[in-house]
Structure 1
Amino acid sequence: MKKILFPTDFSEVADNAFVHALEFAKIVNGELVLLHTFELPVYDNQFFPENYNVLFDSLQLIEFDMFKEEIPKLHNIATERNLDHIRMSHRLMDGNLLHNIKKAIKEEKIDFIVMGTSGATGWEAFFIGTNTGNVLTAVDVPVLSVPLESKFKKIETIGFTTRYRAKDKKALKDVLKIAKKTNAQVKCLYVKTNNSDVSEATIKQWEEEFADEPIQFSVIPSDDIQDTILDFILFKDIDVLAMLTYKRNFFVELLKPSLTQKFSNRLHIPILAIHE
């Protein structure tokens, strides 16, 4: 059984992503590990010599009480979607979010992470320096990022960008496993620029190898990679876009504010970032 880590701050963004986490757990026959982290403020105990420990105990108790109040709400969401059979465990951890996520991955043997990101600039922030963006570049398990505007729908088409490398093929096979569990089709995109070095023989070899799989390959000549991918998302009716994280700067360019405004309707889909 796959284990899915779901970090939450119990916000609207997180609650929306929780629905995706539940449905993803159903697809991969997984269980959820719900993680809430908090950082206690730093005080100089020389100014609070007598009540220093009492102060910290009180702050921890407040976090624990809030945790106890919010967890049942998530269980109610699962029940409303008839997904209350999904196994869930809970972790409340003090300290840095990224540190705790990495610790939970190791201790719980996590296979996937599902997190939320928000707003028109959420896509940009996801890849630049938010909690989700930091997780994306610091862990070695796939991260499913879910924007607030992305309401769950049955996954029928998974997009996958490729450069026809060996590591891309491995990732494609992993995506294909997920697609088969939900009877989805995988649509692969290769943007062939003037500097592309992929041979026609390599492309043909991939097409022959995956000929019996629900995979469709598209090779589009263009030097505008960002616009081509965005067009691909729209015209191929992509429900989830899977991408390798080999170029963080590329993600920043792809989802910078000017493009998110221009193509906002296309970007309301989850992105499955697969570590190389």
Structure 2
Amino acid sequence: MKRILVPVDFSGDSLRALRFGIYLANKLDCHLRMIHVQKSEKFEIPFHFEELKNEIIHTVQEYFDKLIKLHSADYCVKNGVFDFKIRTGSVYREIVNQAKYGDAFMILMGAYGASGFEEFFIGSNAVKVVTNATCPVITVQKEFDKGKLNTIVMPIDASTETRKKIPFVAEIAAQCKATIHILGVHETSDANVIGKIENYMRQAEDYFKEGNINYVKSIRKGENNTLSSLDYAREVDADLIAIMTEQAESSINMFFGSYAQQMINSSEIPILSVPND
């Protein structure tokens, strides 16, 4: 059975990610594993739980136990194992290593975490995890309050790598009964570039038809593919935007380097980043 890994630092962002992770674990019939990374062996009390302010708690393990007990109705993995690991060291390295050696299907994490707003400027652990992980990563900024994943926006550009996310997006959409918006995005009027994008969109359409997955198609030209994708996703009230972690560096690329960070930091909609492997 597949496993979703959710980093938990007891911040609001990480708990929002946990709820989304449990929803997906139940839809995809996955195990769910939480991971908490300590910077040192010394126990530091997490700041988030007002409900536990009068509790005497000595270890991170006790916090996990209290978390599960306190919110057992919210935190229920129906068909898989729900457990946790505690690691010490570099936050993003330990998360990436746990995902790799624990054979995680996906990482799902808060975009900022405990250190919050400052990470917008210095580069968040979320971006480092996305950049280094060998499995797909979903980053979450706000509460998953709909209770359903209905709409996925999948931008398609002219790079050959852009198509590699199609099977993974299709798997999630099929299990969640979501509609995929195949969104062609370009920053040029070059007919060859537009023709390539339209061809890739047709390939995605054929794949989704074969899998009986609901989809719609649209194509947009803008000054910035990232902003075009975000604007469209907001218009259709998307629940998830699926991108590639890395794409070829060119005048038409999307989400390369700082663009990936821009997406994670700028989007209130969860971002699914699929590695280019």
TM-score by length of 2: 0.77
Change (3 A) 1:122 1:71: closer
Contact 1:243 1:274 (8 Å CA) reproduced? yes
- 1:145/1:77 Cα in 2 relative to 1: closer, same or farther (>3 Å)? farther
Uncovered stretches (5+) of structure 2, i.e. residues with no partner: 47-56, 247-255
Q: Does 1:114 align with 2:111?
A: no
- Distance in 1 separating the partners of 2:6 and 2:262: 27
The alignment status of 1:273 with 2:266, answered yes or no, reads no
Structure-1 separation of matches of 2:36 and 2:242: 26
Given that residues 156 and 201 in structure 2 are in contact (C-alpha distance below 8 angstroms), is that contact kept between their aligned partners in structure 1?
no
Distance 1:21 1:204 in 2: 29
Q: Contact 1:35/1:90 (CA < 8 Å) preserved in 2?
A: yes
**1:249 matched to which residue of 2?**
258
- In the alignment, what sits opposite 1:202? 199
Seq. identity, %? 23
Q: CA deviation at 1:195?
A: 5.9
Is 2:222 aligned against 1:222?
A: yes
Q: Distance in 1 between matches of 2:118 and 2:189?
A: 26
Listed as ranges, the matches of 1:154-169 within 5 Å are 154-169=148-163
Tell me which moved more, 2-11 or 95-104.
95-104
Residues 148 and 205 of structure 1, relative CA distance in 2, 3 Å threshold: closer
Query: Residues 160, 208 of structure 1: CA spacing in aligned structure 2 closer, same or farther, 3 A cutoff?
Result: closer
Counterpart position of 2:87: 93
Relative to structure 1, the CA distance from residue 207 to residue 152 in structure 2 (aligned partners, 3 Å threshold; closer, same or farther) is closer
Considering fraction of residues, name the structure with more helix. Answer: 1
Asked which structure has the greater CA Rg, the reply is: 1
Alignment of 1:25-174 (within 5 A): 25-40=25-40, 59=42, 65-76=58-69, 79-81=72-74, 83-85=76-78, 86-118=80-112, 125=119, 129-151=123-145, 153-174=147-168
Q: Per the alignment, in what secondary structure is the counterpart of residue 58 of structure 2?
A: helix
- Deviation string 1:113-136 (CA, Å, 9 cap, x unpaired) is 0111249x9799469611111111
1: CA distance between counterparts of 2:89 and 2:177? 40
1:15–1:74 contact (8 Å) kept in structure 2:
no
Q: What is the deviation of 1:21?
A: 0.9
Q: Could you say what secondary structure the match of 1:65 adopts?
A: coil
After TM superposition, the structure 1 stretch with the greater mean CA deviation from structure 2, 240-249 or 164-173, is: 164-173
Counterparts in 2 of 1:82 and 1:15: CA distance versus 1, 3 Å: closer
Contact 2:5 2:34 in 1 (8 A): yes
Change (3 A) 1:9 1:171: same
- For residues 166 and 257 of structure 2, the distance between their equivalents in structure 1, rounded to whole angstroms, comes to 19
- For residue 199 of structure 1, what is the amino acid of its counterpart? G
1:82 Cα shift? 7.1
Match of 2:50 in 1: none
Structure 1 residue 208, shift from structure 2 partner: 5.7
Deviation at 1:225, TM superposition (A): 2.5
Mapped contact 1:19–1:77 kept (Cα < 8 A): no
Q: Which amino acid aligns with 1:19?
A: R
The answer (yes or no) to whether the contact 2:111–2:126 under 8 Å persists in 1 is yes
Higher alpha-carbon deviation: 11-20 or 146-155: 146-155
Instruction: Say which is worse superposed, 218-227 or 90-99, in terms of deviation.
Output: 218-227
Relative to structure 1, the CA distance from residue 123 to residue 255 in structure 2 (aligned partners, 3 Å threshold; closer, same or farther) is: farther
Report the Cα distance in structure 2 between the residues aligned to 1:99 and 1:146, rounded to whole angstroms: 19
Pair 152,79 (structure 1): closer, same or farther in 2 beyond 3 Å = farther
Distance 1:155 1:189 in 2: 18
Question: What one-letter code is carried by the residue in structure 2 that aligns with 1:180?
Answer: A
How far apart in 2 are the matches of 1:123 and 1:190? 32
1:162, distance to aligned residue in structure 2 (A): 1.2
Separation (CA, whole Å) in 2 of partners of 1:103 and 1:217? 37
1:169 to partner: Cα distance = 2.3
Q: 1: distance between equivalents of 2:31 and 2:148?
A: 19
Structure 1 length as normaliser, TM-score?
Answer: 0.77
Supply the RMSD in Å over aligned alpha carbons: 3.1
Kept in 2: contact 1:127–1:252 (CA 8 A): no
Q: Distance in 1 between matches of 2:207 and 2:89?
A: 45
Distance 1:143 1:6 in 2: 10
Instruction: Structure 1: state its 5+ residue gaps.
Output: 41-55, 261-266
